[in-house]
Structure 1
Amino acid sequence: MMRLHLISTGSIHPLDEIKTFQSLQPYTDQLHLREPDLSAAELLDLIEALLGHGYSPDQLTVHDRVDVAHVAGIGVQLTRRSLRVRDVRRHFPDLVIGKSVHSLAEALAAEAEGADRLLYGHIYPTASKPDVPPRGIDALKQVVTFTTKPVIAIGGITPECMPEIAATGATGIAVLSGILGQSDPLAAIRRYQGVRV
């Protein structure tokens, strides 16, 4: 069964929405905290609140902040603006490291440097990147085929897309606005769960 990665939008304050995140926990394999406007201390407070509301450390990933991930005992997701995977791996050998990639070359490099999983996209057109062409299913299949790490697809993914993504061998999907951007996030995440393959 494909794994569901939920990514916070950065446009809400998760501490204000803790009840929403609590309701989504049973349906969420991985919650990514992508909150660049929060300080390190605020992120740690948020993580501790989530841990107190049903999430386990294995369910949580913080974007970019290696320091917070290390202190909280959760995973980190690295992007183009983050520290290099190899440097994080050298200093934090036990840290779970995800890497956001946008090409097969980037995926292979991240794997070689020690990334534990790859977030690849965007697969379909998305409002967050209107001027960037989507990578598409064929490119996703290529990344899955030529890497050995779990590949999570991201970008414009609706519940109806999930069978097509599953057919590539991708490990899971990552969703932002398709869940947290909806008026009823719980109903939205249940729609994704209803077609998990």
Structure 2
Amino acid sequence: MRTINLFIKRIIDFLGSLIGMIIISPVLIIIAISIKLTSKGSVFFRQKRLGENGKVFKILKFRTMVVNAEKIGDGLFVKTEKDNRITKIGKLLRATSLDELPQLWNVLIGEMSLVGPRPPVPHHPYKYEEYSEYQSKRFNMKPGMTGLTQVTVRNSVPWDERIPVDVKYVETFNVWLDIKILFKTIQKIFVRESIYTHSEKNASEKSTTI
């Protein structure tokens, strides 16, 4: 049954990302032009992430920060929407998660899924080989544009507390669960919710990453 569900999941991913890119292409073009006209640098931001079974791939996003932002200020971490490295258009894109739309390409070519655990950077918070046997279960499926963590706790808890949610998703996965997560994700797009921590405690763990 799981094999069938995974097969259906890949069909949904392929068709969903392909059709999605076609339908929202005007939006993608408008965002791309806005980024190019309002700040120096590339329209897209590429960053290495850990994918299925620890395989490293480059995730694609719309650039929301100044060039080389990871080498300035808090580096990899973005603790507040007032971070001066974020561009004007970037604030809107990050608040609405529209900066994630280019990942439809990652989904189309099979590096990601529409739904799954979010992919961390290779060196934070742990290297792949440093995850415990239990924690590494989150890498048994392709990472997703959205996931169970994103529609529940999001960044409100430290990374180590998000992992059990990801593992739960992997262990209980079925197509119906993916569909419910996708609908909840759409609902959250229309409800403004901070993606940053409001506490200095554990800031490095709770804050979002570039």
Report the TM-score, using the length of structure 1 for normalisation.
0.29
Which has the greater radius of gyration? 2
Larger strand proportion of the pair: 1
Larger helix proportion of the pair: 2
Higher relative contact order structure (alpha carbons within 8 Å, sequence separation ≥ 6): 2
